[in-house]
């Protein structure tokens, strides 16, 4: 447990910003609005919010308590707590999932660079209609050489930060940029809500129509809650392991969860009114945000400047998320396999690039990956669902079972409270982790299996 060698966040704020950096990313700004749109709006949003409160926050705290206690990567953490058991495989699933997510996430992150380039070169000449904007989208993301290069560029940036270790790179990057992103989002939300037709968008987002509920909607809401908070694969175990021993960990964890959810709602406030303004279908799919946003920039004074700032900050928000994904994988190879951090970052980043190529080609670059195996879904979409929904859900279920029934709630609470800060509602939290989360997650999974609504 060589704390000094592993590095530590410089304080509570450092941790909050870094963990918020991990949580806030394309999950909030790209994935939340398009998933909400595909799943009928209000009812999805309500269930997503309920999952954040009932499952997201308990799992954040469960992961952080493991990380603080063991000061290790997910595999090492379970090894330290229950040696000679199968639990380290749960950590292994987390490392694999981190890889799986990074391999498609970096492709999308590459799209943001493409849009940033478009913004700099002045593509946004005025208010764009839906067709113009969709054509622009297809143009920017359908070019195979461009998307592959941008994916490579993004992974390269990620490696550059991760190879230097937590407090050096990760923390510095987030400190100024997260608040700046928040500011831009607020300005865009104000603009969007006041667009003609804005109230229709708000009604779509906030009026639950429960006839739209289905197994898929509920599963997507659960997956979204976990994905957005970076849960279910040990990212928060890893980040919790760098948390200063003297600081209030549960307060920081809850702050991150609320902050992240607030940003997702803010993204909804930007996208949905604008979508009705420009005439795009809410269920347009993964391209939704990219197609809708140019319309807002076109209607703002100094729209081009806003577009540049927005895409730059979005790319950075994505970067602080890819950093946390790669960090989990790198921490495993450094701690458990004794690799040099620099070498681990380069090799694993490079391997991830190879795995990301099919996803890069799945938005028009290659017909085979664009409609993968006749599913009507792209290779990227399928990876998003498998790793981003199912794998995280199974991971979160097992983490709750571990903390609730194997390690024990009292030990977890002791770890959370080891700085001397008593946690309000501690028994309720224990009940959520031990009973409510496992039961709720199992019901969702069993329902999906019985009704076969997998996608």
Reading the block at residue 419, the tokens are 């700085």
Give the residue, chosen from 220, 299, 321, 360, that forms a contact with ligand TRP under the rule CB under 6 A: 321
Question: Is position 23 an interface residue for ligand TRP (rule: CB under 6 A)?
Answer: yes
Give the residue, chosen from 233, 280, 292, 357, that forms a contact with ligand TRP under the rule CB under 6 A: 233
CB of 374 to ligand TRP, least distance (A): 28
User: Which C-beta is closer to ligand TRP: that of 124 or that of 390?
Assistant: 390
Give the residue, chosen from 8, 16, 28, 56, that forms a contact with ligand TRP under the rule CB under 6 A: 28
Which residue is it, tokens 């992150």?
A: 109
Question: Is position 147 an interface residue for ligand TRP (rule: CB under 6 A)?
Answer: no
Of 3-11, 227-235, 333-341, 408-416: span binding ligand TRP (CB under 6 A)? 227-235
Question: Is position 248 an interface residue for ligand TRP (rule: CB under 6 A)?
Answer: no
The CB-nearest residue to ligand TRP is 27
Reading the block at residue 374, the tokens are 């006749």
Reading the block at residue 22, the tokens are 């991990």
Instruction: Say how many residues make up the chain.
Output: 455
Chain centroid to Cα 363, Å, comes to 21
CB of 208 to ligand TRP, least distance (A): 23
Give the residue, chosen from 61, 178, 235, 331, that forms a contact with ligand TRP under the rule CB under 6 A: 235
Question: Is position 27 an interface residue for ligand TRP (rule: CB under 6 A)?
Answer: yes
Question: Is position 270 an interface residue for ligand TRP (rule: CB under 6 A)?
Answer: no
CB of 321 to ligand TRP, least distance (A): 4
Give the residue, chosen from 15, 21, 22, 48, that forms a contact with ligand TRP under the rule CB under 6 A: 22
Give the containing element (helix H, strand E) for 12: helix 12-23
User: Which C-beta is closer to ligand TRP: that of 228 or that of 383?
Assistant: 228
Question: Is position 67 an interface residue for ligand TRP (rule: CB under 6 A)?
Answer: no
For the chain, give me the number of helices (H) and strands (E)? 24, 0
Question: Is position 110 an interface residue for ligand TRP (rule: CB under 6 A)?
Answer: no
Signed CA dihedral, 96, 171, 56, 31: sign only: negative
d(CA 225, CA 330) in angstroms, rounded, equals 25
User: Which C-beta is closer to ligand TRP: that of 98 or that of 438?
Assistant: 98
Reading the block at residue 300, the tokens are 């703002």
Q: Where are the beta strands (DSSP E) in 200-321?
A: none
User: Which C-beta is closer to ligand TRP: that of 27 or that of 430?
Assistant: 27
Reading the block at residue 383, the tokens are 């990876």
CB of 234 to ligand TRP, least distance (A): 8
d(CA 375, CA 233) in angstroms, rounded, equals 27
Contact between residue 128 and residue 440 where contact means Cβ atoms under 8 Å apart: no
Ranges within 381-440 binding ligand TRP (CB under 6 A): 392
Which residues neighbour 162 within 8 Å (Cβ) at sequence distance 6 or greater?
A: 169, 170, 323, 326, 327, 330, 341, 345, 349
Which residues neighbour 215 within 8 Å (Cβ) at sequence distance 6 or greater?
A: 444, 447, 448, 451, 453
Binding site for ligand TRP (CB under 6 A): 22-23, 25-28, 101, 227-228, 230, 233, 235, 321, 324-325, 392
């Amino acid at each position: 447990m060589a704390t000094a060698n592993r590095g530590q966040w410089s304080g509570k704020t450092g941790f909050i910003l870094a963990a918020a950096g991990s949580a806030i990313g394309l999950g909030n700004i790209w994935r939340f609005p398009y998933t909400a749109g595909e799943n009928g709006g209000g009812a999805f949003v309500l269930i997503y919010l309920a999952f954040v409160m009932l499952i997201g926050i308990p799992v954040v705290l469960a992961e952080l308590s493991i990380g603080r206690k063991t000061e290790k990567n997910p595999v090492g953490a379970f090894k330290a707590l229950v040696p000679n058991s199968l639990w380290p495989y749960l950590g292994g699933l987390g490392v694999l999932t981190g890889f799986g997510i990074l391999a498609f996430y970096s492709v999308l992150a590459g799209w943001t660079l493409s849009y940033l380039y478009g913004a700099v070169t002045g593509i946004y000449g005025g208010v764009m209609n839906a067709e113009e904007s969709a054509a622009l989208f297809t143009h920017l993301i359908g070019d195979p050489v461009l998307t592959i290069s941008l994916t490579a560029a993004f992974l390269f940036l990620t490696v550059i930060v991760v190879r230097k270790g937590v407090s050096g790179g990760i923390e510095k990057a987030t400190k100024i940029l997260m608040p700046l992103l928040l500011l831009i989002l607020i300005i865009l939300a104000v603009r969007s809500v006041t667009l003609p037709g804005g109230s229709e968008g708000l009604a779509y987002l906030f009026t639950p129509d429960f006839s739209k509920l289905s197994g898929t909607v509920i599963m997507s809401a659960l997956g979204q809650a976990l994905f957005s908070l970076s849960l279910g694969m040990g990212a928060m175990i890893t980040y919790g392991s760098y948390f200063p021993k003297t600081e209030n960990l549960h307060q920081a964890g809850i702050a991150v969860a609320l902050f992240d959810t607030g940003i997702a709602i803010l993204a909804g406030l930007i996208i949905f009114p604008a979508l009705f303004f420009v005439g795009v279908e809410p269920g347009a799919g993964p391209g939704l945000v990219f197609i809708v946003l140019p319309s807002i920039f076109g209607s703002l004074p100094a729209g081009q400047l806003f577009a540049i700032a927005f895409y730059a900050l979005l790319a950075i928000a994505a970067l602080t998320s890819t950093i946390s994904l790669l960090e989990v994988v790198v921490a495993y190879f450094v701690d458990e396999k004794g690799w040099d951090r620099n070498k681990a970052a380069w090799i694993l980043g490079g391997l991830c690039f190879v795995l990301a190529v099919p996803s890069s080609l799945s938005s028009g670059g290659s017909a085979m990956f664009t409609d993968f195996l006749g599913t009507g879904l792209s290779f990227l979409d399928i990876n998003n669902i498998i790793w981003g929904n199912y794998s995280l859900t199974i991971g979160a279920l097992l983490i709750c079972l571990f903390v609730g029934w194997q390690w024990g709630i009292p030990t977890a609470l002791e770890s959370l409270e080891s700085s001397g800060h008593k946690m309000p509602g501690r028994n309720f939290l224990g009940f959520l982790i031990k009973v409510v989360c496992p039961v709720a997650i199992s019901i969702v999974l069993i329902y999906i299996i019985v009704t076969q609504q997998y996608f």
